[in-house]
Structure 1
């Protein structure tokens, strides 16, 4: 099937969050506190729903490359299920709240005391709806929280002092393509995805979660998987135009949700702008980690030795079929789609103004 430009854009999304084609501790630089001196208290629990941009270890070791070397080399020093060399978005949002990164749902029985900080229900490869990757969709992830509430793990008081982080949607569009979706029906499908996303956000608030945040889609046309065609020098504007449609509808929908809810609990964490800012102002911005610039932000730190290999691949003899840059702190992207810890820190720095404005009781 020959793809016209809009649908061609979505053909690259599925690998954004999958394991195959298929916590921040208090440290230097932490400036969060439980209390905002002017406006009030920050949430004390974080519930996370989404894909590999938020997953901290829910995917099975046998299916996700996030459990393979060299993932996790910066933090915690070995693979931990995070799709990065270190910390991911979840960890930095927890840092802002002044709590430990919430424990992955699959591991909570091994550390029940960590439940006081919330739970991470995110699975790499998932979507708002079902995807070909065997990971629970957003609705099922919310079911997991609902069960914990029914089991009295969390009380209404707990939920009233909590925040939800929601980050997913790209895999839904790739699934649409796999199922032979047409260009003519794409706009309507995007509306379906955004509307379902909004319904799930409302469900979280109805369960008692005080604040519900959702991320916009990042500029997928700037991911290394795409920019490799220009030797990591140029984003694909056509692909980013496709992202703009999703983000525009999301903004309208979140505004409508807030107009229907007295306490305006819903807000967007804009991933698109920080990614673009880092890329366009690479000579001006410095990563917080080590004070280094992202000199070539479109080029990943870890990449396969050829097109048939990706970061973490080995041959039949166990030989590494990937290379790693000399300093991950100087790279914005870790692999073909995921930021480094330093990259996420730069994004987090850009999000702090929104967090200060919105995450206050």
Structure 2
């Protein structure tokens, strides 16, 4: 989940990343300004439509009522009633939200401005979300990014391509599905085969390999979004007889975040010129859930689309949708509402890019 925590030691943004973003935000209207390029890797929290192009994927949101509060009121492939946090961050950075990779012609010039590879059901592990039949795992997304780097080099030459790739910002949000649609599912083997410590070690090893591969392909400025309190999302609360957050799940999430923070520190030390940032997501999300009225919400323990215990937990066409969507933190059993995304994007942007946030205070993401 793309939400931000409060620990300054983990939120200290590398100076070059911050300087580049500030420059892009303050001067993005100038013809001579540097063009900010973003590449987005993730799951359904940041997908903008890749799975629509996967014929057999069961992880889709191309049906009502998704997109009901988007610009044209129609489904866009986003797992929300409106925007993702990634959309809102792009607005604040003064750039278009990158298009889904699978919507592009392989040689489309649009790839020079950034691409979104995110896919609903995706995980760090390749077997995560297996029952969705088709989805782009993190490895799959990196494969497509490798194809992108080759096309960019063919278009602008090796030197210019390397500069573009080195200067780009890479937003990565992975891991939620490795729990919700893998380890926490009793009918899947990983939850039976591994203890949590063993499973966490597996995630850690794979993620280190994936960060390193992105680095080899040219990524230098990478921001990894830690997990929020998954034990408090509606699909997990539904497992509690009293509709409470699942404490054990949240404890495992905290262990995951701690492990990834250490990995980020190690890679920043070992990889030349890399600028990896861990964006701690946990506490702000928990605060929004525990004290929704503080942010103008009324409901945080169930979803606007009444699907908490339904198979899949998605807002299908026969679902009952609340009319007061801005009062709900969650849209469906897994995903925040557009209104919640706006709040969380504001907090994310202000903490990760504090100077840029001041320059972009007239950004289009609404205050709730």
Q: What range is the shorter-chain TM-score in?
A: 0.7 to 0.9
Matched, 1:258 2:268: yes
Q: Distance in 1 between matches of 2:291 and 2:219?
A: 37
Matched, 1:68 2:84: no
Q: Distance in 1 between matches of 2:74 and 2:191?
A: 40
Q: How many angstroms does 1:223 deviate by?
A: 0.3
| Residue of structure 2 in register with 1:283 after alignment | 293
- Counterparts of 1:24-43 in structure 2 under 5 Å? 34-35=24-25
| Residue of structure 1 in register with 2:12 after alignment | none
Count of residues in Structure 1 that have an aligned counterpart in Structure 2: 314
Instruction: Give CA-to-partner distance per residue, 1:35-86, whole Å, 9 cap, x none.
Output: 459xxx8871111111101110000365344101000001131000000001
| Residue of structure 2 in register with 1:19 after alignment | none
Kindly tell me: are residues 276 and 103 of structure 1, through their superposed partners in 2, closer, same or farther at Cα, counting changes over 3 Å?
A: same
User: Structure 1 stretch 239-248 or stretch 202-211: which is displaced more?
Assistant: 202-211
Query: Aligned to 2:49, which of 53, 57, 70?
Result: 57
Query: Aligned to 2:169, which of 159, 163, 173?
Result: 163
Q: Distance in 2 between matches of 1:93 and 1:227?
A: 29
Q: Distance in 2 between matches of 1:309 and 1:172?
A: 16
Q: Distance in 1 between matches of 2:308 and 2:189?
A: 32
- Counterparts of 1:303-322 in structure 2 under 5 Å? 303-304=306-307, 307=310, 310-314=313-317, 320=318, 322=319
Whether contact under 8 Å (1:43, 1:359) holds in the other structure is: no
Q: How many angstroms does 1:233 deviate by?
A: 5.8
Query: Aligned to 1:335, which of 332, 337, 349?
Result: 332
| Residue of structure 1 in register with 2:344 after alignment | 347
Query: Aligned to 2:222, which of 204, 212, 225?
Result: 212
Q: Distance in 1 between matches of 2:165 and 2:192?
A: 41
Q: Distance in 1 between matches of 2:266 and 2:256?
A: 15
Query: Aligned to 2:122, which of 126, 151, 164?
Result: 126
Residue aligned with 2:251, SS: helix
Instruction: Give CA-to-partner distance per residue, 1:275-314, whole Å, 9 cap, x none.
Output: 11112232222xxxxxxx1111222111249746854435
Q: How many angstroms does 1:226 deviate by?
A: 2.1
Whether contact under 8 Å (1:70, 1:312) holds in the other structure is: yes
| Residue of structure 1 in register with 2:5 after alignment | none
Q: Distance in 1 between matches of 2:104 and 2:222?
A: 22
Q: Which runs of 5+ in 2 are unaligned?
A: 1-21, 28-32, 358-368
User: Structure 1 stretch 57-66 or stretch 345-354: which is displaced more?
Assistant: 57-66
Whether contact under 8 Å (1:43, 1:97) holds in the other structure is: no
Kindly tell me: are residues 199 and 229 of structure 1, through their superposed partners in 2, closer, same or farther at Cα, counting changes over 3 Å?
A: closer
* More RCO (CA 8 Å, sep 6+): 2
Residue aligned with 1:119, SS: strand
Q: Per residue, is there more helix in 1 or in 2?
A: 2
Instruction: Give CA-to-partner distance per residue, 1:200-253, whole Å, 9 cap, x none.
Output: 122222322231011111111110112235688632222211111111101111
Q: Distance in 2 between matches of 1:130 and 1:85?
A: 28
Kindly tell me: are residues 232 and 210 of structure 1, through their superposed partners in 2, closer, same or farther at Cα, counting changes over 3 Å?
A: farther
Kindly tell me: are residues 223 and 43 of structure 1, through their superposed partners in 2, closer, same or farther at Cα, counting changes over 3 Å?
A: farther
| Residue of structure 1 in register with 2:74 after alignment | 78
Whether contact under 8 Å (1:302, 1:325) holds in the other structure is: yes
Q: Which runs of 5+ in 1 are unaligned?
A: 1-31, 286-292, 315-319
TM-score by length of 1: 0.78
| Residue of structure 2 in register with 1:140 after alignment | 140
